[in-house]
Amino acid sequence: MQKYLALVVFGVLLLLASRLSAEPRFSSDVVGNFMVNDTLTVNGDGIFNLGAAEKVYLDGTTITHTNTAGLLDINVTTATAGVTSIDVSTTLTADVDNVYGIKSTFISTAAGTTEKVGGPFLADIQGHAGDNDDRIHSALIMTGTKNGGNSNLDALVIKGPEWDNIITAEKGNITFSGYNAVILAEADAPGNGPELRIQAGNGDDNGEAGDWNGGNMYMYGGAKANAGVDGNTVLAHNSATAIGGVGIRRPPVAGEGLGVAGKTVLDGDVEIGGTTTLVDTVWTDLRVSFTEAQPGPANNPGFDVFQGAVRAYHFDPNAEEELFVIVQIPHSYKYGTDLHPHIHWAPTTTNTDPVRWCLEYTLAEVDGTYGAPTTLCENDAADGTAYKHQYFDLGNISGAAIDTLSATLVCRVYRDADDAADDYTGDAVGLELDFHFEKDAFGSDEELTK
Q: Which helix (H) or strand (E) holds 321?
A: strand 321-328
Over range 286-302, report the average pLDDT.
Answer: 96
**Residue 6, pLDDT score:** 40
Report the helix count and the strand count for the chain, using DSSP H and E.
1, 14
The pLDDT of residue 2 is: 44
More confident residue, 80 or 64: 80
Q: For residue 327, how many other CB atoms are within 10 A of its CB?
A: 20
Tens of pLDDT along 308-321?
999 999 999 999 99
Closest CA to 340 of 394, 302, 390, 298: 394
* Residue 450 to residues 165, 259, 332, 338, 405, Cα–Cα distance (Å): 50, 21, 9, 18, 7
How far is CA 170 from each of CA 167, 173, 213, rounded to the nearest angstrom? 10, 10, 18
pLDDT of 26: 52
Identify the band that residue 12 occupies on the pLDDT scale cut at 50, 70 and 90.
very low
Domain-wise residue ranges, the chain = 282-439
pLDDT tens-place string over residues 102-114:
888 878 777 777 7
**More confident position, 30 or 298:** 298
Question: Greater confidence, 173 or 404?
Answer: 404
In the CATH hierarchy, which fold is given to the domain comprising 282-439? Jelly Rolls (2.60.120)
H or E segment at 16?
helix 2-20
Residue 24 pLDDT > 60, yes or no?
A: no
User: Phi and psi for 247 in degrees, rounded to 5?
Assistant: -115, 135
Other Cβ atoms less than 10 A from the Cβ of 168: the count is 6
The one-letter amino acid at 223: A
Q: Say which amino acid occupies 106.
A: F
DSSP string, 80-100: STT--SS-------SS-S---
**Are 443 and 332 contacting, i.e. CB atoms less than 8 angstroms apart?**
yes
Rounded to whole angstroms, the Cα distance separating 24 from 442 reads 88
* Burial class, 293, CB count within 10 angstroms (exposed 0-12 / middle 13-18 / buried 19+): buried
* Contact residues for 105 (Cβ-Cβ < 8 A; gap 6+): 120
